Chains A and B, each alone.
Chain A
Amino acid sequence: MRKIRFQKKTINWKGLLDYILLILLSSLLFLNILIALPLTEKLTDIIAFDLNVSKDYWSKEYILELESEESTDLSKTRDVLFRRLNEYGVEEASIYKEDGDLRIVVSTTLPQMYVEELIRNPYQYRIVTRNEDVNFEDVENPYAQYMGENYDETEFDASTFRNIFLTNLPDSNGTDSYFGIAKTWPNKSQSFKNFLNNHIGDSIGVDIDGFVTPMYISDSSIFAIPLNVTDESIKAVDILYNSGSIPTSYTISEQTDLESKTINIDYIEVSIAIFIVIIIIYAYLFYTKIYTTPLLTTSLFATLLSMASMLTILKITFLPINPFILIISVIFIIILTRVIITNPESKYLITTSVFILAFIFKLLGIGYLRMVGNDLLTHSLLVLLCVSFSEYYITKISIYFKK
């Protein structure tokens, strides 16, 4: 019987894997562009991905009447209120001193309820003990334990604590609830511990703007304030506790709804126009011969890829974006991509410097400055990634086309 002999063929594994990798990368690229294109979310019902453009701005003015007439109290109150609004992420907040009052103007897309919580409440808190003359067990006065006038003041107030750390802990019913763990300043730590030791087995309270949260002291090692908050309100409460203490009480004497000056941009029109603009810019650069054709091709490819990736990330994560900041991001991506492509020797230096700069503005910026800084953090890295990918992809794909 004759043996059948198969001819030995050597498979070029590296070439095959390169080929498969290229197909995968091309698929990802097309998927990325498909998601980024406007209105493609309407093609499928399986997953909802649309750009979450923040358009619903509301704007309001508040006049605050302060109890104190001291200039330093006015300035301190203004500072703390601005800090609260900034930490919460309010896009535009201005606070003016006017004849001993404070005029606050806010314009934001954030929930009105929580923004107003930050403005309305001085959140002056202090530790209080029960007044012995008051009957807290009186069935005809069930609210006695919540009223500030039924308690005696102690030496401990907001200045005693350096921080109130908000965390989720199991309560006496076995369910998880939010608590504020009070951390004292080192110089007041011992006296506060002695105070808690003296009140073990007693009910004391935390008085916030005249309303008391009663607490039973069973242990002096930890002071956990029970908080009646939801997951949505936790950020606002955290800011109220930890953004500095307001030195005086105040009331809102006037509040007026304002017409919000919002930018009305249709992002679909903008996306199409920006795409045309990029093509025109590169066509102009091509005809003026400022750059070589391969460099322009890579730069154009990387720019479009960076923008598509930015839009894809925004669509998938459903992160809210202001249309004006979207335009700023686009300008930034167009410029940074070109700079990195034309200065390959400095690409890491440029990306790192932009990243650090964005980080500083995210950390120390206010309002829009902080928002744009936050976006630049991701955009700088995204552009570097897209430039590296574009260089690799165009080199590889051109090899196959030349074959």
Chain B
Amino acid sequence: MSIFINIYNGWTLYEWTMVGGSLLSIFILINLTTYFLTRKIKFSLPISLTFLSSLLLIIFSVFIYTSLFHIEVSNISLISILITTCLITVNWFSFIGFYIRTRDYKKFSITQLFNEYRGDSIRLIIFITLSILAVSVFLTGEYLAMLVSTLLISTLSIYLNTILVRRFIND
């Protein structure tokens, strides 16, 4: 707990406002865009939950590599937020794009949509894993910890989203 208190005290109000503001803006924009494109509020639920759980995972990962691996946290770790958010967004809008294109087809099936999305997400996870692991050989310390935790958080969040999509979106 003291780690989080230290992080909280170590940040200025300006930092909290700016980072919080950027995350809140992205959260609102993703939800608004999703609703605007699909006209269905239930599409916003999985991405909102994924987004929030990824933030919790980032906080948890900071706790892990500070307390267990004794790696000092600096501003570098913030890049994790950007990469994770970016990958979740890219994965989500590839799903929305596919849904918009196929929803008016006569043979449109929600099960096929889920399967297609899950397959695409798994392929993306493989690709992210290969790309990040490949460049990780050049890194050490906080840089390596940040990139590996980003990999874990991103892949977990993307896979979680495929489960949440199946849970919340059904005809």
* Chain A interface residues (CB < 8 Å from chain B): 75, 78-79, 82-83, 86, 91-97, 107, 261, 263, 265, 269-270, 273-274, 277, 280-281, 284-285, 290-291, 324, 327-328, 330-332, 334-336, 338-339, 342-343, 345-347, 349-350, 353-354, 356-358, 360-361, 363-369, 372-373, 376
Q: Cβ of B108 < 8 Å from any Cβ of A?
A: no
Q: A82-B15, A346-B98, A369-B78 are in contact. Are A97 and B9 (CB under 8 A)?
A: yes
- B20 CB to closest chain A CB, in angstroms? 9
- Determine the residue in chain B with the shortest Cβ distance to A276: B134
- Contact (Cβ within 8 A) A273 B138: yes
- Contact (Cβ within 8 A) B13 A75: yes
Chain A residues with Cβ below 8 Å from B76 are: 92, 324, 368
- Contact (Cβ within 8 A) A284 B130: yes
**Cross-interface CB contact of B97 among A96, A107, A345, cutoff 8 Å:** A345
Q: Cβ of B132 < 8 Å from any Cβ of A?
A: yes
- Contact (Cβ within 8 A) A343 B138: no
Q: Give Cα A273 to B135, complex, Å.
A: 8
A-B contacts counted at CB < 8 A amount to 161
Q: Give Cα A15 to B24, complex, Å.
A: 53
- Contact (Cβ within 8 A) A366 B18: yes
Q: Give Cα A191 to B3, complex, Å.
A: 50
Chain B residues with Cβ below 8 Å from A270 are: 135, 138
- Contact (Cβ within 8 A) B15 A274: no
Q: Cβ of B128 < 8 Å from any Cβ of A?
A: yes
- Contact (Cβ within 8 A) B79 A335: no
- Contact (Cβ within 8 A) A335 B75: no
- Determine the residue in chain B with the shortest Cβ distance to A336: B90
- Determine the residue in chain A with the shortest Cβ distance to B13: A79
**Cross-interface CB contact of B132 among A91, A324, A331, cutoff 8 Å:** A331
Contact with A along B33-52 (1 / 0, CB 8 A): 10001000000000000000
- Contact (Cβ within 8 A) B13 A364: no
Q: Give Cα A270 to B82, complex, Å.
A: 23
Chain B residues with Cβ below 8 Å from A376 are: 82, 86
Q: Cβ of B29 < 8 Å from any Cβ of A?
A: yes
- Contact (Cβ within 8 A) B19 A350: no
| Given contact pairs A339-B90, A345-B101, A354-B89, a sample of 17 additional A-B residue pairs in the complex whose CB atoms are under 8 Å apart | A91-B75, A92-B75, A94-B10, A270-B135, A277-B134, A281-B131, A324-B139, A327-B139, A334-B127, A345-B97, A354-B90, A357-B82, A364-B19, A364-B22, A368-B76, A368-B78, A369-B75
- Determine the residue in chain A with the shortest Cβ distance to B21: A364
Q: Give Cα A335 to B14, complex, Å.
A: 32
- Contact (Cβ within 8 A) B26 A360: yes
Chain B residues with Cβ below 8 Å from A324 are: 76, 139, 143
Contact with A along B97-111 (1 / 0, CB 8 A): 110110000000000
- Contact (Cβ within 8 A) B12 A95: yes
A-B contact pairs, 22 of them (CB 8 A): A75-B13, A79-B13, A94-B75, A263-B139, A270-B135, A277-B135, A291-B123, A332-B86, A335-B90, A335-B124, A338-B124, A345-B100, A346-B97, A354-B86, A356-B29, A357-B86, A360-B25, A360-B29, A366-B78, A367-B75, A369-B78, A372-B82
- B82 CB to closest chain A CB, in angstroms? 6
**Cross-interface CB contact of B131 among A96, A335, A358, cutoff 8 Å:** A335
